[in-house]
Amino acid sequence: MTGSYVSIKLSSFLSRIIKLTCFSNLVFVFLLAASCTGRSKVVTIGTLLNEMTDRSSLTYFPIRSFKHKQFSSYNRASVRPDSAGWFANADMSHFIRVEQNDGRREFVMFDAAGPGAVVRWWMTFYKAQNGVIRIYIDNDSVPLIQGSPKDMLRGSLICAPPLASSMQEGAPLGEEGRDYDHNFYVPLPFAEHCKITYECDSLRLLYDYEGTKVPQGYYWPDVFYNIGYRSYTGKVKVRSVTAADLDTLKYSFDRAGEILLEKSVRSGSEEMISRFIYPGDSLSVDIQHANTAITRLSALLDCADMNQALRSVVIKASFDGYTTVWLPLGEFFGTGDTLCNHRTWMNSTDASGLLESFWVMPFRRDCNINLINYSADTVHIELVTGTSDYKWKKNSLYFGASWHEYNSIRSRNNEGAPFDLNFINIKGKGVYAGDQVTIFNNTYHWWGEGDEKIFVDGEKFPSSFGTGSEDYYGYSFARQEPFSHPFISQPVGIGNMSWGVSVNMRHRSLDAIPFNDSISSNIELWHWADIKMNYALTTYYYIACPFETNIRPDRESVVREVVLTKDNFDKQLIR
C-alpha cells in the first residue's frame, strides 16, 4: 500500500525563476491568478489561498454562499440531545462505510456532493498509522491524491508546514505508541463530488479481538478524524483541484505559509498612548474616521500583579455605537491569566508583557476602545492602535468578542454524567471566527474528552460534531507541551494532566462558519474525574448589527482572584 498519484515538484525552469526573482509577493499573486480562471466568479484553489491569507476576508459575509460542515469519527450513538448516547465517548474508528475498490478494503471518511471544498483536516492514530489515504475528485475511480497520512497531512507530499504540520514531537508516558496529530489546511475545491478513504490492514471490528458486542461501525485500533468543508449553495461555481494545480502551486503553498507566519503586521497609521490606569478608572481611545479598520492593537503592561491584571483589566470596544467586545485583556490576546509566549495569525503574547492583536475591526464612522481596570492595583499601559483604510460594503460585518467563566463548576451533573457548556448563542447574521478555553484543572485526570457541537440556523443536529476538545484545538492525547500555529495554539498546557492552567485556542479562516439567522456553539464538559474546576470560554465572531446574544459582561468573574495553583483554588472553595 504505497505510492503517490501526485508528485509535488516545480519544473526546473519555474524553480530558477523563483530563486532569481526578488519580487516574491508578485510571483505569489501571479501564480494564484494563473490558477483562478474567472477568479471573480469561480472558486478555485487560488481564490481560497488568497482568502486564507487576507485577514479582512472574515469581515465580509460570504458573497459565494456556503455552509460549513464536518465529517468526523464521532460515536454514532450520539443521535439527538435527548438520547442516551448524546455524550458517548469512544469517538474514533467510526466511518461512513467500508468499500471494496480493486480488491482494497477502503474505509470512507468523507463523502460529499459538490460544489464544495475541503478546508480543514485533523487526524491522529493509535497503532493504525500504516495505511493509505486516497482522495477521489468528481467521481473519478482513480484517486487524485494517494499517500500515507504522515506524508500527506504532515508535509512532504503536497506542502510543507504550516499548511501541513504536526503540533508536537513526542508523547506523554503511556502514549508512546500513538502517532502524531496531523493538521492540514490546504484547500481542496471540488465541483461535483469528493470522497476520502483510508485503507489500513490493521483495522478490525473490536469484537474480532475481544469477542464482545460493540457499537456498530467501531473498529480497532483507534483512528480519529475531523474533516471540515464548505458546501456551496445557490449558483456558486467551483473549479475542481487538479494534479496540475498541486504541482504548479507548490510555491504558492510555501508563500502562503510564509505570510501566515510573518511576525510584522503593517498598519496605515499608528498612535500610542502611555498612561497609568488606577483602580476603577479606564483608558479610552476614540477614532473618528470614515471607512477605517483597526488592523493592529498592542498593549504593554507593567503592574505589581500581572496575572490579576490580565484577568481584571477588561477591553470594551464599540463600533458605530454598537458595543460588541467585552472580555479580559488576557483572554482577548490569547494568553489567559498567565503570560506565555505564543503567536497565531490573529494574536500573540510574550513574557515581557507585550500583547498583540491582529483581528481586523472595521467601522463606518467611529469606534471607541476602552480599557477598564477592575483590579485593586494601578496598571501602567502603553497602548498602540494601528488603523488602515477599509472599504465598507453592504456585506461588511463588525468584530465581536465575548467571554464568561463557569467558576468552581462541578465536572459532572447531578446524575454523574457529562454535559454541554455553551460558548455563545447568537441571533443574527454573521460569521463564527473562533474560540478559546482557559481552564484550571483540579486533578491529574484529563478534562477534555468533550466534543464540540455547533448548531447553525436552527438545525436539529449540529453540522460540526467533534471527537474531543484537544482534537478540536488541533492536538491529541492530552499533551501538555506548549505549541503555536497560525490557526491553533496552546500557550500553556500544565492543566491537561496535572493541577494547573491550560489555554487552548482555535482561530478560523477558511473554516469560519457563516450563519444567516442564528448559531449555538457548545462543547461538552467530559472529565475523567468528578471534581470542581474553573472553565472560561471566549468567542470571536463577525456580526451584522443589531443582534442578540446570551452572553453578558461577567464583572463578578473579572474581579475574582486569579487561580493558578491548587492552594488558590481550595481557598476560593472555602470562601
Number of domains in the chain: 2
Cis, peptide link before residue 546, omega less than 30° from 0: yes
Whether residue 163 lies inside any domain: the answer is: yes
- End residue of a domain, out of 229, 261, 293: 261
Share of the chain above pLDDT 70, in %: 88
Whether residue 281 lies inside any domain: the answer is: yes
Each residue's pLDDT tens digit, 204-237: 776 544 445 455 567 777 899 999 999 999 899 9
Res. 545: pLDDT tops 70 = yes
Closest CA to 317 of 264, 357, 268: 357
Res. 458: pLDDT tops 80 = yes
Do 293 and 253 share a domain, yes or no? no
- End residue of a domain, out of 228, 261, 294: 261
Amino acid (one-letter) located at 455: F
Closest CA to 287 of 400, 367, 404: 367
Do 37 and 62 share a domain, yes or no? yes
Do 437 and 475 share a domain, yes or no? yes
Res. 389: pLDDT tops 70 = yes
The range of the structural domain enclosing residue 423 comes to 269-574
- For the residues 48-71, what does the mean pLDDT come to? 97
Q: Give the model's pLDDT for residue 486.
A: 96
Cα separations in angstroms, 153 against 134, 162, 166, 256 = 12, 11, 8, 16
Share of the chain above pLDDT 90, in %: 77
Q: Give the model's pLDDT for residue 34.
A: 45
Each residue's pLDDT tens digit, 126-152: 766 788 999 999 999 999 999 998 888
**How many alpha carbons lie under 13 Å from residue 189 in its C-beta half-sphere?**
22
Whether residue 2 lies inside any domain: the answer is: no
- Residue 375: count other Cβ atoms within 10 Å of its Cβ: 24
Each residue's pLDDT tens digit, 336-385: 999 999 999 999 998 888 999 999 999 999 999 999 999 999 999 999 99
| Residue predicted with more confidence, 376 or 12 | 376
Each residue's pLDDT tens digit, 26-45: 444 444 544 443 345 899 99
Cβ-proximal residues to 243 (8 Å cutoff; 6+ apart), any chain: 5, 6, 144
Each residue's pLDDT tens digit, 288-339: 999 999 999 999 999 999 999 999 999 999 999 999 999 999 999 999 999 9
Whether residue 7 lies inside any domain: the answer is: no
The total number of residues written for the chain in this structure: 575
Do 290 and 246 share a domain, yes or no? no
Do 321 and 240 share a domain, yes or no? no
Cis, peptide link before residue 221, omega less than 30° from 0: yes
Do 221 and 198 share a domain, yes or no? yes
Q: Give the model's pLDDT for residue 128.
A: 64
Whether residue 4 lies inside any domain: the answer is: no
Whether residue 1 lies inside any domain: the answer is: no
Do 241 and 285 share a domain, yes or no? no
CA gap 394, 283 in Å, rounded: 32
Closest CA to 299 of 383, 224, 405, 416: 383
Average pLDDT, rounded, for the chain: 89
Each residue's pLDDT tens digit, 474-495: 998 888 999 999 999 999 999 9
Whether residue 253 lies inside any domain: the answer is: yes
Do 344 and 218 share a domain, yes or no? no
Do 206 and 306 share a domain, yes or no? no
Res. 553: pLDDT tops 50 = yes
Kindly tell me the burial class for residue 530, based on how many C-beta atoms sit within 10 Å of its own C-beta (0-12, 13-18, 19 or more): exposed
Do 546 and 410 share a domain, yes or no? yes
Do 234 and 285 share a domain, yes or no? no
Do 306 and 402 share a domain, yes or no? yes
Supply the CATH number for residue 247's domain. 2.60.120.1390
Lookup: cell for 255: 508563500
Whole-model pTM: value is 0.91
- End residue of a domain, out of 261, 289, 313: 261
Whether residue 6 lies inside any domain: the answer is: no
CA gap 61, 64 in Å, rounded: 9
Res. 465: pLDDT tops 90 = yes
